[in-house]
Amino acid sequence: MSSDGRAASGPKSEGYETKERYSAIIEKIFTAKFKPGMRMVDFVREELETVAGQLQIKLPKNLGDLVYSFRYRADLPEKIRAAAGKGETWIIRPIGKAHYRLALVADHPIQPNVNLATTKVPDSTPGIVTKYAFDDEQALLARLRYNRLIDVFTGVTCYSLQNHLRTTVPEMGQVETDELYVGLDKKGAHYVFPIQAKGGRQ
pLDDT classification of 160: cutoffs 50, 70, 90: very high
My answer on whether 20 and 93 are in the same domain is yes
29-33, 71-75, 197-201 — which is least confidently predicted? Answer: 197-201
98/150 same-domain check: no
The stretch 141-163 carries a mean pLDDT of 94
Domain assignment of residue 4, yes or no: no
Same domain, 102 and 43: yes
Domain count, the chain: 2
Does 101 reside within a domain?
Answer: yes
Same domain, 23 and 84: yes
Taking the model in full, what pTM does it have? 0.69
Helix (H) or strand (E) holding 55: helix 45-55
75 lies in some domain: yes
Q: Where are the beta strands (DSSP E) in the chain?
A: 40-44, 88-96, 99-106, 157-169, 173-184, 190-195
Residues 87 and 140 in one domain: no
Longest alpha-carbon distance in the chain: 80
pLDDT of 59 over the 90 cut: no
Residue 81, CB-side half-sphere exposure with 13 Å CA sphere: 8
Stronger pLDDT, 172 or 146, i.e. the higher one: 146
5 belongs to a structural domain: no
Return the closest-CA partner of residue 89 out of 77, 76, 101, 107: 107
**Does 1 reside within a domain?**
no
Residue 48 has pLDDT above 90, yes or no: yes
Domain that holds residue 148: 127-195
pLDDT tier at 200, thresholds 50, 70, 90? low
168 assigned to some structural domain: yes
* Residues 170 and 93 grouped into a single domain: no
Residue 92 within any structural domain of the chain: yes
Length of the chain equals 202
Cα(52)–Cα(50) distance, integer angstroms: 5
- How many other C-beta atoms are found inside a 10 Å radius of the C-beta of residue 20? 14
pLDDT top residue among 1 and 60: 60
Q: Do both 78 and 40 map to the same domain?
A: yes
CB 183 within 8 A of CB 164: no
